[in-house]
Amino acid sequence: MNLKPKLFSVLKNYSKEQFVKDIVAGIIVAIIALPLSIALALASGVTPERGIYTAIVAGFIIAFLGGSRVQVSGPTAAFATIVGGIVATKGMDGLIIATVMAGIILIIMGLLKLGTLIKFIPYTITTGFTAGIAVTLLIGQLKDFCGLSVVSDNGEPIIETVDKLKYDIKFIDTFNWQACLIGLLSLAILILWPMIKRPKFLTKIPASLIAVIFGIAAVNGLGLKVNTIGDLYTLSNKLPSLTLPNVTLGTVRDLLPNAFTIAILAAIESLLSCVVSDSMINSRHNSNMELVALGTGNVFSALFGGIPATGAIARTTANVKNGGRTPIAGMVHALVLLLVLVVLMPYAALIPMPTIAAILFMVAYNMSGWRTFVKLCKTAPKSDIIVLVITFVLTVVFDLVVAIEVGMLVTCILFIKRMSEETLVKGWKLVDDENDPDSISLRKVPANTMVYEISGPMFFGAADKILGITVSEEMTNLILRMRSVNAIDSTAINALTTLADSCKKNGVRLILSHVNEQPMNILKKSGLYDRIGAENFADHIDAALARAEE
């Protein structure tokens, strides 16, 4: 795959009408990104303007160089905990060094065309640490939501999530009912605003902006004693400027694990966002070009006062829904935020801290994926549940670096154990052996029916092959022969679910032939068996072909 930015491809057939749509989408996304960028900067332990610096610098560069048509990048909640820890222990110089190293790692990954290696991060690990990040983000905002006056025993910043919870309980007697009232009001607006009927021109205004406006009005109009951003931070509306850190070999060595974690998180979240946006606009992203752009954007974001950035699924989805179809929309979003920084940044000092906490509560809830977490705990194989829970607990109790390292280690050990217990058939076949008496070549296949045979265990390293199966409107039946599949995991179930949804969308009947005991049990526990339908499970290929003929 060539390393060519998507921008240069789409401009060949660019129209005036699309340019107008991209501008409108960029402005709307900027309105959504403004309160989020400020909130995520505060959650990361840095000043509010640094979140906007990130959205401006990284957002523009990643859109300009990126491998996706509609990706919008900026600060996200995934980095809040790790960034806060780096800033508290190594200062801003440490954050710049770690982010620049992460950017370089991402660029190297892209140049070496390693974008597809992200598939080797199991679904259970990404689900576990995402839920863990959501919990740490939630706990980190309890202090501001309740207006607590928390001071550590040694006067140092409180870094660990468990310590934050302990000190919140210790200082519960400083509870500020006025702050909590503003927090609850903001939270109610964030929950109810998308549900209520409103004039069409108001549907484009995000709930977070409404919550900010009401929060400011309530605190100032009623004269409430509630901390605002201006009470705790000195704001600046200056343009981002180049900052070079004081680099030492010891600092680089200490921060290297953090840099790898930032790079992995950025790659996972960004490429996941690309996949989601591809399905929305029927396009295909260039994963390696996206990694190069992501790395470049993070290097410049750090050097110009920002924090780590990645593709943001919520902002990317908003871009698509409002007509954005080219990287121009992402670049417009960055330029609008630049204008807002210069003109409106002083007014950000009026935003109440409980409102910021409420916004981050919603971010935590939306990213937690708690339904997926609970479902995996009920339906996944025991080995997957062990990895899921370990990753989640370590993310909350320790940090992401430990969680990902231990999660991958446990995954590899359990995978080796699982594979050692199975009779393996190497490879993945889309055709079968003509010497086999059950060969499909010896049978009549109904018209518009495709038969694929899968050989070997379906696990996270091979699950992407399922997504390689093409489903078209010309097909009427798709048969999967699974006689050689002895084991299946949650990542493969997720891929099969995607395939089943694609079949349903295109009016194609999905039929599974000769499903063995372990895969059948997992299919039933996950609910996919019922979705496909018991009538579409055949004991033998002859029965599957007969079903296709009906």
- Please report which confidence band the pLDDT of residue 221 belongs to, taking 50, 70 and 90 as the band edges: very high
Residue in the block written with tokens 């992460």: 102
Domain chopping of the chain, boundaries: 6-362, 440-549
What's the rounded Cα separation, in Å, for the pair 62 and 293?
Answer: 5
Query: Which of 319, 327, 270 lies closest to 29, judged by CA?
Result: 319
Would you state the torsion angle of the CA atoms of residues 193, 197, 203, 208, taken in this order, to the nearest 10 degrees? Answer: -10
Average of per-residue pLDDT values in the chain: 89
Q: Convert 156-209 into a string of H (helix), E (strand) and C (coil).
A: CCCCCHHHHHHHHHHCHHHCCHHHHHHHHHHHHHHHHCCCCCCCHHHCCCCHHH
CATH superfamily of 440-549: STAS domain (3.30.750.24)
Residue 317 backbone class (left: φ over 0; alpha: ψ -120 to 50; beta: rest): alpha
**Torsion angle of alpha carbons 196, 198, 201, 202, nearest 10°?**
-40
List pLDDT tens digits, range 352-392: 999 999 999 999 998 888 999 999 999 988 889 999 999 99
- Residue 405 reports pLDDT greater than 90: no
- List helix spans (H) across 350-427: 353-368, 370-379, 382-397, 400-420
What sign does the CA torsion over 453, 456, 460, 465 have?
negative
Q: What is the pLDDT of residues 533-544, one digit of tens each?
A: 999 999 998 899
Question: Tens of pLDDT along 298-355?
Answer: 999 999 999 999 999 889 999 998 899 999 999 999 999 999 999 988 889 999 999 9
Q: Show the tokens assigned to 126.
A: 């990404």
Range 443-460 average pLDDT: 82
pLDDT tens by residue, 80-118? 889 999 999 999 999 999 999 999 999 999 999 988 777
